């Protein structure tokens, strides 16, 4: 913008907006996980193993971060075909991740760990809520990926117009890290 001056902070406003948005998401999950800690220290806490699917889904989401980064690198080098291939790969891995999360809930349910109702315990409910909330955020990431993909097919992502995919890459990496944080947190505190 023309108002950008030497005094102003030299980061693109949209990039800065994204980082602020990430901060709000961090606060949201930080409060949920601290609620988890406070509640678990009160006792009457059910101890159980996390579903094995969560291990696989964690691997999938790490892989998707890798393909996302490759898509970004391709954009920086103007390799148009590769942008599309890696973006599609990321999109698919994202959807597989969500599918695996749902399977994970199925495993929990089969294991008699319920979200609510008479036989539920907050320990189990928290696992559902945390993974569900992460899933919702991942869906916003998937929507963003679809927008990227449409732009990629219009050839409008390249080294000269990299901001869009750069923001998406940042967001996707964040969602990846967020899940890893939640997963490690639940492993350590369950």
Q: Is 118 in the site for another protein (CB under 8 A)?
A: yes
Supply 174's token pair: 């964040």
DSSP state at residue 51: P
Of 56, 96, 122, 170, the one binding another protein by CB under 8 A = 122
Supply 8's token pair: 């102003």
Footprint of another protein on 66-105 (CB under 8 A):
none
What is the distance of C-alpha 37 from the center of its chain? 22
Supply 37's token pair: 């800690």
Of 110, 116, 154, 188, the one binding another protein by CB under 8 A = 116
Q: Is 190 in the site for another protein (CB under 8 A)?
A: no
Footprint of another protein on 30-59 (CB under 8 A):
31-32, 35, 38-39, 42, 44-45
Tell me how far apart the alpha carbons of residues 143 and 149 are, in angstroms, rounded to a whole number: 10
SS3 161: strand
In the complex, minimum distance from the CB of residue 88 to another protein, in angstroms, rounded to a whole number: 25
Tell me how far apart the alpha carbons of residues 120 and 107 are, in angstroms, rounded to a whole number: 15
**Cβ–Cβ < 8 Å for 84, 149:** yes
Q: Is 153 in the site for another protein (CB under 8 A)?
A: no
In the complex, minimum distance from the CB of residue 45 to another protein, in angstroms, rounded to a whole number: 8
Which residues here bind another protein, judged by CB under 8 A? 1-14, 16-17, 20-21, 23-25, 27-28, 31-32, 35, 38-39, 42, 44-45, 115-118, 120-122, 125-126, 129, 133, 163
């Amino acid at each position: 913008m023309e108002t950008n001056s030497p005094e102003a902070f030299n980061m693109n406003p949209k990039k800065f907006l994204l980082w602020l948005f990430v901060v709000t998401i961090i606060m949201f999950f930080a409060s949920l996980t601290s609620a988890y800690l406070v509640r678990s220290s009160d006792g009457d806490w059910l101890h159980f193993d996390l579903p094995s699917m969560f291990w696989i889904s964690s691997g999938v989401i790490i892989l998707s971060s890798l393909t996302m980064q490759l898509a970004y690198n391709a954009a920086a080098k103007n390799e148009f075909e590769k942008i599309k291939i890696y973006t599609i790969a990321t999109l698919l891995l994202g959807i597989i991740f969500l599918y695996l999360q749902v399977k994970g809930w199925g495993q929990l349910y089969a294991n008699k760990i319920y979200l609510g109702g008479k036989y539920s315990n907050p320990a189990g409910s928290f696992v559902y809520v945390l993974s569900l909330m992460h899933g919702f955020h991942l869906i916003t990431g998937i929507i963003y990926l679809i927008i990227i993909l449409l732009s990629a097919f219009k050839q409008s992502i390249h080294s000269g117009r990299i901001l869009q995919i750069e923001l998406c890459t940042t967001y996707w990496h964040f969602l990846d890290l967020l899940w890893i944080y939640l997963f490690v947190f639940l492993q350590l505190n369950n």
